[in-house]
Amino acid sequence: MTLSAAALHAEESRWKFEGFWEHRTFTYFRPAETGETQAEADSHLRGKLTYQFKNMSLAVAPDLWIDSHGRMDRQSASLSDRTDRRPAVSSSELTLDFRTASLDLRVGKQQIVWGRADTWNPTDNVMPFDYLDLVETERIGVAAVRARRYFNSASLDLVWVPRFSPTRLPLLNARWYPRLQSPSALPLRFRSRARFPPTTAASSQLAIRWDHTAHGWDYSVSYFNGWNDIPNFALLLVSPAASSGGPATPSLEVNLQRSFRRIQVVGGDLAVTPAGLGVRAEAAFFRPQKGALDFSPGEDRDYLLYALGMDKSWGDWTLLAQVMGDIAFGSGGAVFPPQAATLRFPDRGLGHSLLGRLEQSTGPRASWSLTAVVRLQAGDSLLEPEYQYQLAQAWKLSAGVHLLVGSRTDFLGQYRNNSRVYIKLRQSF
Amino acid sequence: MSKASDPGENPRQIPRRGGRPLCLLSALCLPPSVFRLLISSFRLPLSTFCLPLSVLLLAGVPPGSVRAQAALEIMERVDQQARCSSRQYTGSLEVYDRGGKVLRKAWLSRRKGFGGESRSLVRFTSPPEVRGVGLLVLAHRGVPSDQWLYTPAIRRDRRIAPQDRSVRFLGTDFSYEDMQEREVADYQYSLIGEEASGAGSFFKIQAVPNKNLRSQYAYLYVWVDKNLFVVTRTEFYRDKELSKTLAAGKLERIQGIWTALELEMKDLKRGSRTVVRMSDVQYNKFLSDDLFTLRNLRDGDR
């Protein structure tokens, strides 16, 4: 009887393991002002093990990172993802799922992705980003409880995030950290510390989303009440940097404190396909907590982010165009007024931008694409031509260029020394 | 839906005539449509079909009209023989590039309903790069179908425009149009003639898509086996240039439906070809409505 039951359970259970390994090399055209090498490499191994049993499943997705340039923290294994460097060992997912006829419940560290626009999603605020490399961004899973209830062609998501996870910013004094102009002739050296919100019930985050499909339209409305995972910066001290022995370049040391604003976001998105076009729209109204947390009083202004895009495919070609906008309400100052554009991250730095992508499949194994992000007022841009080739059944090779151009006082132009070529080799399993 | 009420419990329903769906290239899923084109069974002796044609010819009906009427009836027979309330199979395909290098893919296909009113879901199972990628198609008679493509790597389902018909499906030589369900009335037919070879005797039919179909093809030539009423070969023309060919092989009668278990699509311009093999084909099986939802598309057939 016991053996029969065990055999029955074995039949009803299901193990699944999948993942990939990717190795990337980057060669920069110019040396970094921060003194980093022009050649970098990193490797990422991700596996995902899923065990399914009747209407429950357990999933764990460990991540292993190594790199040549110190952005990974080789000493730590972490699930919290609050570290400045990316942990060498972590888990992007660790979830327990429970499923009934009309309800999905997921508990644990998970990936929650919202929005229907391409690449840039104003309503996608539950899960933070990893901006250690501002072009090759990653997502950071959040510890959350998510319930999704289905109603015929609609669904309602309820998300509770008890513990805050911040977006991981570029490392201080490194290639991708925003370039701020020194008030003197001396270069700036930054120090920073974070003040995270407390992990209490009152400090937890809530999100809700109603998603509906009807008459050829997909749309959703959503509400998020939580923390902006991009911090505000408070200037604590500017002083001549003390050298720790030996001759050093004189510099000004800037001590910044990262703090986080409570924020409410009301948003919506839409996808429809009239006359052979894919049309996608997404917008969100952000209402940050009021009051000066920092030396940039303008940062508490309400603002609206929106994206409107179209895509068209024909034959072996795909074309995508999307405009992305940012409207701020009220008035206020800005951080380092002459260069407010530089102390931004993609969430707002890519407002007032045009995204374009042209892709062609040149055979069963090969394709190329050209992606461009052009900021409409300043004209600084990112261009990325890329070629992909399927080497073998599970092996893919990609090669391309990240070309950053523009003025050093603009969001993308400040990184023009970071233009580079790359090669990626990926094995999926 | 209760099991008793499911169409799958009423196999081989007699199809309505007129305005019914054809699968000119129907459902391989990977290509549902191509698949349906190549499956058929026959119920009526061939003479019952040929008689009206002879009568019409003797009656002095203009040959053009005769050829059109005859071709239409042949294609309706092809469609009729392929009818089923549901279908499930596992498929594998090999995509050969111009140099003969091969990429292999595998998938599970499910379809419920038929032609203009059907739901289908294709889920790729290998290689790892595309594992979990799914295409959900809800076809509605007289209006464009709803289509979503789910990509696990970005965890998003994306509504895609059904008119993107010339686009290759995941790097194969099949386009989305090749995979779409069709109505018989979507084409104008003409019987070109009859051909015989060592493989059998065939009707050769020209099918011209109606303008409202917005087809990438100017016309097709279709070879129908005179005994089985199965399409065994199709040529696809863009303008007046032969663009693709599709050949069917390994015909087996499964649950009363003649089924081509092997298909080969050649893209003459690109110099590539895709070979599709089907196994575990099941017709008229009960398939829950829950399989054809966005929830299931995202969840990977759990």
pLDDT in tens, A32-85: 887 888 999 999 999 999 999 889 999 999 999 999 988 888 776 666 788 889
Q: Which of A57, A276, A394 sits opposite B129 (nearest CB)?
A: A394
**Averaged over B50-79, what is the pLDDT?**
67
Residue A104 lies in domain? 10-428
Q: Would residue A3 count as lying in a domain?
A: no
Q: Which of B95, B101, B146 sits opposite A216 (nearest CB)?
A: B146
Partners of residue A315 in chain B, C-beta under 8 Å: 166-167, 216
Contact between residue A18 and residue B131 where contact means Cβ atoms under 8 Å apart: yes
Sign of CA dihedral B219, B220, B226, B231: negative
Q: Would residue A389 count as lying in a domain?
A: yes
pLDDT in tens, A273-289: 988 899 999 999 999 98
B155–chain A Cβ distance below 8 A for any pair: yes
What does residue A331 show for φ and ψ, rounded to 5 degrees?
Answer: -135, 160
Q: Would residue A106 count as lying in a domain?
A: yes
The residue with tokens 């805050």 is A164
Asked if pLDDT for residue A226 goes beyond 60, the answer is yes
How many whole angstroms separate alpha carbon B295 and alpha carbon A86? 33
pLDDT in tens, A249-280: 677 777 778 889 999 999 999 999 988 899 99
| CATH number for the domain harbouring residue A180 | 2.40.160.10
State residue A166's pLDDT score. 94
Q: In Å, what is the CA distance from A182 to each residue of A186, A336, A413?
A: 7, 10, 17
How many Cβ contacts (< 8 angstroms) between chains A and B?
A: 88
Contact between residue A23 and residue A391 where contact means Cβ atoms under 8 Å apart: no
How many whole angstroms separate alpha carbon A30 and alpha carbon B128? 37
| pLDDT level of residue A336 (50, 70, 90 thresholds) | very low
The residue with tokens 């009420």 is B5
What does residue A380 show for φ and ψ, rounded to 5 degrees?
Answer: -70, 150
Nearest CA in chain B to A270: B159
B129–chain A Cβ distance below 8 A for any pair: yes
Closest CA to A229 of A276, A186, A288, A172: A288
Fold of B7-12+23-299: outer membrane lipoprotein receptor (LolB), chain A (2.50.20)
Q: Would residue A4 count as lying in a domain?
A: no
Nearest CA in chain B to A276: B163
**How many domains does one find in chain A?**
1
How many whole angstroms separate alpha carbon B242 and alpha carbon A280? 36
Q: Would residue A5 count as lying in a domain?
A: no
> Nearest CA of chain B to the CA of A91: how many Å?
16
Task: Mark yes or no for CB contact A318/B167 under 8 Å.
Answer: yes
How many whole angstroms separate alpha carbon B253 and alpha carbon B42? 10
B131-170 exposure pattern, b = at least 16 Cβ within 10 A, e = fewer: bbbbbbbbbeeeebbbbbbbebeeebbbbbbbbbbbbbbb
Asked if pLDDT for residue A242 goes beyond 80, the answer is no
Helices B63-81 and B46-58: crossing angle, nearest 10°?
170
Residue spans per domain, chain B = 7-12+23-299
Q: Residue B220: what residue type?
A: L
Q: Would residue A205 count as lying in a domain?
A: yes
Task: Mark yes or no for CB contact B163/A276 under 8 Å.
Answer: yes
How many whole angstroms separate alpha carbon A29 and alpha carbon A204? 44
